[in-house]
C-alpha cells in the first residue's frame, strides 16, 4: 500500500491539472514542486477524481479479470473519453449510430402526447370530481359547472401539483446521475414506461364506471407517474443524449433543434386535442397509445449514446465518493454548478464562478416569467377577450409555433452569422453567447410589454412573435454553462441539476403568480404581468454585466 501511495504521489501531475491543455490552465511542463500545482490540486472535483483512481488501483490489486480493462483508461482524462466516445460513434453503421434525429423524434412524441393530455385530463378530472361529489351527496346533487364542483376539482389539482412537484424535485437530479452510470437509454426507457403505465391506469379510472374515480385513487396513480420525473427530466435526459453525440462546437445549434422539436410537439398536441372529432376519453386513450409507440421506438431503435468506459468511470466514481461521503445526494450534484477551477495564478477563477451564477439567475428569472407565468397570461387573455377553449388552444399552439419556427429557421442563420464575425470559445463565454443571450432576453421583455399594453386580440397574439425569439435562450445558456463544467463525464448529472431547477420552478412560479393574480384581480389584473416584466428587465441587466 505504501508503494502504491508513493507511486501516486510521484506520478505526473499533468493528468490532474490539464496535461492536454484543455482541462486546466496549467502547463504539463510545470515543475512538480511549483506551489500553483498544489493549489490547483485542492480543487474539490479533482480530489474526487484522485479518490476514484485510488479505488481503481486497489481493485486492480485483487487480480480480477476487469483489472487490465480498467487500467486501459486509467490515465485517460474525462475529456479524452468523451472525444473517444464521439469517434466510436462515427465508426458505427448508420442504423446503429446514435443521432440527433432519433432523440428529437422521442422528444417530439413526448411533447405531442403531453399537449394532447393536458386539456383532456383537466376536463376529465373535473367531471370525475363532480360525479364523485354527487355519489357522496345523493340528496344534494350539484351541476358539474357549479362552484362546489369547481372547488373540489381545484383542490384535486392543488394536491396533484404538490405531489407531482415534490416527487419530481426528488427524482430530477438522481435520474441525471444514474444516466451517467447506467447510460441514457435505460433511463429514457424507464421514464417513458412509467408515463405509459400511469396513462393506462388513468384511462381505466376515467373510462370505467363513474364509481371508479375517487380523488385518492387518481392522486395515487398520478404519484406513480411522477416517479419517472416530469417533462424537464425527459428533456434533461435528452439533452444528455444529444451532448454525447455532437461536437462541443455544435452543441448550441443542435440543442436549439431539440428544443424546436419539443415546441412543435407542444404546438400540434393541443390543436389535435381540440379539433379531433372524438370524445375526450377516446382522445386521451389514443394519446397513451402514441406514447406506447414512443416506448417501442426507444427500446428497438434508439442506440445507447454513452460508452462503456464512461459508464464504468462514473460507476467507480459514485462508489468511491459514496464510500467516503455516505450523505452524497442533491447537494453533491449541485456542486457542479459552483465553479472551482483555477486561473493562471492558481487562485479560484472568480470570473468563471460569477458568470455561471449570473447565468443560473437568468435561467430562474426568465423561466419563472415565461413558462412559470404561462397560466396567468392564459387566464388573463381568456377573460379579457372572451376566448373559448378552442381559441385558447389556438393561442397556446401559436405561441409554441413561434418558438419552434425561430429555433428551426432563424437560429441556424443567426448562429452562422455570429460565428463568421466572432471567435468561438470552448472554455468560457464569448461574444456569440453574449449577443444571443442579449437578443433572447430583450425580445422576451419587448413581447411581455406588448402583451401588457395590448388592447385587442391581434396585438396580444403579436407578442408571441417577439417572445418566440426568446426561445434561443435555453440552448445558448445551457451550452455556455457546459463550457465551465470540469467533469465532462458528469454531463447527465449537470442536466439533472437543470431539471431540478425547472421542476422546482414549475411548482413555485405558477403558485406565486396565481396567488398574485387572485389577490389583485379586482384592482388590476395586470399586476402579475408587471412582475414578469420586472424579472425580464433584471435578467437583461445581468446579461449586460457578463464578461
- Tens digit of each residue's pLDDT (9 = 90 or more) over 293-338: 999 999 999 999 988 888 888 887 777 655 555 444 556 677 888 8
Q: Could you confirm whether domain 99-304+329-544 is CATH 3.30.1330.30?
A: no
At residue 17, the pLDDT reads 42
Give the residue, 67 or 493, on which the prediction is more confident. Answer: 493
pLDDT of 23: 43
Is the pLDDT score of 390 beyond 90?
Answer: no
Question: For residue 118, is pLDDT > 60?
Answer: yes
**C-alpha neighbours within 13 Å on the C-beta side of residue 362:** 31
Instruction: pLDDT band for 444, please (50, 70, 90 cuts).
Output: very high
Cα–Cα distances (Å) from 296 to 66, 99, 106, 285, in that order, read 33, 17, 11, 17
- The pLDDT tens digits of the residues spanning 144-200 come to 766 666 667 777 877 887 787 778 777 877 888 888 889 999 999 999 999 999 999
When pLDDT is averaged across residues 449-463 and rounded to a whole number, the result is: 92
* Every domain range in the chain assigned CATH 1.20.1250.20: 99-304+329-544
110 has a pLDDT exceeding 80:
yes
Q: What is the pLDDT, as a whole number, of residue 44?
A: 43
If you average pLDDT over residues 102-112, what whole number do you get? 92
- Contact between 309 and 73 under an 8 Å Cβ cutoff? The reply is yes
CA atoms within 13 A on the CB side of 325: 14
pLDDT of residue 74: 53
Sign of the torsion angle spanned by Cα atoms 280, 282, 286, 288:
positive
pLDDT score recorded for residue 70: 47
**Burial group, residue 25, by CB count within 10 angstroms (0-12, 13-18, 19+):** middle
pTM for the predicted model, two decimal places: 0.73
Asked if residues 382 and 390 have their Cβ atoms less than 8 Å apart, the reply is no
Across residues 211-223, what is the average pLDDT?
85
The strand pairing partners of 348, in sequence order, are 342
**Calpha distance 43→24 (Å, rounded):** 11
pLDDT digit string (tens) for 492-511? 888 888 888 888 888 888 88
Q: Say how far residue 303 (Cα) sits from the centre of its chain.
A: 21
Q: How far apart (Å, rounded) are the C-alpha atoms in residues 501 and 474? A: 13
The three cell numbers of residue 385 are 377577450
Residue 211 has pLDDT above 80, yes or no: no
pLDDT per residue as tens digits for the range 238-290:
999 998 988 877 888 899 999 999 989 988 888 887 778 888 888 888 999 99
Is the pLDDT confidence value at 20 over 70? no
Grid coordinates standing for 144?
358539474
Residue-averaged pLDDT of the chain: 79
Cβ–Cβ < 8 Å for 18, 29: no
Measuring CA to CA, how many Å separate 229 from each of 73, 261, 287, 296?
33, 20, 19, 20
- In angstroms, the first-to-last Cα distance of the chain is 47
471 alpha carbon, distance to own chain's centre: 14
In terms of Cβ atoms closer than 10 Å to its own Cβ (0-12, 13-18, 19+), residue 499 is buried
Top mean pLDDT of 357-366, 423-432, 522-531 is at: 357-366
Asked whether the beta carbons of 331 and 501 are under 8 A apart, the reply is no
* Mean pLDDT, rounded, for 444-469: 93
Amino acid at each position: 500500500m505504501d508503494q502504491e501511495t508513493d507511486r501516486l504521489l510521484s506520478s505526473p501531475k499533468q493528468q490532474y491539472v490539464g496535461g492536454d491543455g484543455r482541462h486546466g490552465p496549467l502547463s504539463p511542463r510545470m515543475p512538480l514542486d511549483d506551489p500553483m500545482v498544489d493549489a490547483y490540486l485542492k480543487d474539490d472535483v479533482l480530489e474526487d477524481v484522485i479518490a476514484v483512481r485510488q479505488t481503481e488501483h486497489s481493485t486492480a490489486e485483487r487480480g480480477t479479470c476487469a483489472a487490465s480493462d480498467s487500467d486501459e483508461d486509467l490515465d485517460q482524462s474525462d475529456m479524452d473519453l468523451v472525444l473517444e466516445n464521439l469517434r466510436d460513434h462515427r465508426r458505427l453503421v448508420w442504423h446503429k449510430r446514435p443521432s440527433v434525429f432519433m432523440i428529437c423524434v422521442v422528444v417530439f412524441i413526448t411533447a405531442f402526447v403531453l399537449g394532447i393530455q393536458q386539456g383532456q385530463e383537466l376536463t376529465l378530472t373535473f367531471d370525475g370530481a363532480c360525479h364523485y361529489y354527487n355519489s357522496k351527496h345523493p340528496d344534494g346533487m350539484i351541476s358539474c359547472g357549479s362552484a362546489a364542483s369547481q372547488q373540489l376539482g381545484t383542490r384535486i389539482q392543488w394536491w396533484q401539483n404538490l405531489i407531482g412537484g415534490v416527487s419530481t424535485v426528488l427524482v430530477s437530479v438522481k435520474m441525471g446521475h444514474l444516466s451517467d452510470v447506467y447510460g441514457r437509454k435505460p433511463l429514457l426507457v424507464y421514464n417513458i414506461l412509467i408515463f405509459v403505465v400511469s396513462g393506462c391506469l388513468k384511462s381505466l379510472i376515467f373510462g370505467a364506471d363513474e364509481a371508479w374515480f375517487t380523488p385518492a385513487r387518481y392522486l395515487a396513480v398520478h404519484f406513480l407517474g411522477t416517479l419517472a420525473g416530469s417533462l424537464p427530466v425527459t428533456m434533461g435526459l435528452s439533452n444528455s443524449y444529444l451532448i454525447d453525440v455532437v461536437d462541443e462546437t455544435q452543441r448550441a445549434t443542435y440543442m436549439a433543434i431539440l428544443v424546436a422539436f419539443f415546441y412543435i410537439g407542444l404546438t400540434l398536441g393541443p390543436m389535435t386535442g381540440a379539433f379531433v372529432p372524438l370524445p375526450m376519453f377516446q382522445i386521451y386513450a389514443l394519446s397513451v397509445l402514441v406514447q406506447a409507440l414512443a416506448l417501442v421506438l426507444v427500446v428497438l431503435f434508439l442506440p445507447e449514446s454513452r460508452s462503456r468506459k464512461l459508464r464504468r468511470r462514473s460507476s467507480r466514481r459514485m462508489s468511491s465518493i459514496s464510500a467516503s461521503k455516505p450523505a452524497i445526494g442533491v447537494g453533491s450534484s449541485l456542486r457542479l454548478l459552483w465553479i472551482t477551477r483555477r486561473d493562471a495564478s492558481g487562485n479560484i477563477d472568480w470570473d468563471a464562478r460569477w458568470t455561471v451564477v449570473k447565468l443560473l439567475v437568468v435561467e430562474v428569472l426568465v423561466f419563472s416569467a415565461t413558462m412559470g407565468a404561462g397560466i396567468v397570461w392564459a387566464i388573463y387573455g381568456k377573460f379579457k377577450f372572451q376566448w373559448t377553449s378552442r381559441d385558447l388552444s389556438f393561442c397556446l399552439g401559436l405561441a409554441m409555433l413561434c418558438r419552434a419556427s425561430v429555433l428551426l429557421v432563424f437560429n441556424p442563420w443567426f448562429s452562422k452569422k455570429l460565428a463568421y464575425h466572432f471567435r468561438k470559445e470552448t472554455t468560457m463565454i464569448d461574444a456569440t453567447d453574449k449577443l444571443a443571450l442579449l437578443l433572447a432576453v430583450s425580445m422576451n421583455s419587448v413581447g411581455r410589454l406588448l402583451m401588457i399594453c395590448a388592447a385587442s386580440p391581434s396585438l396580444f397574439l403579436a407578442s408571441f412573435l417577439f417572445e418566440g425569439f426568446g426561445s434561443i435562450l435555453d440552448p445558448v445558456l445551457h451550452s455556455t454553462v457546459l463550457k465551465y463544467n470540469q467533469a465532462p463525464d458528469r454531463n447527465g448529472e449537470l442536466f439533472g441539476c437543470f431539471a431540478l431547477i425547472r421542476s422546482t420552478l414549475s411548482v413555485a412560479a405558477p403558485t406565486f403568480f396565481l396567488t398574485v393574480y387572485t389577490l389583485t384581480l379586482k384592482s388590476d389584473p395586470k399586476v402579475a404581468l408587471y412582475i414578469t416584466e420586472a424579472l425580464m428587465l433584471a435578467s437583461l441587466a445581468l446579461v449586460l454585466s457578463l464578461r
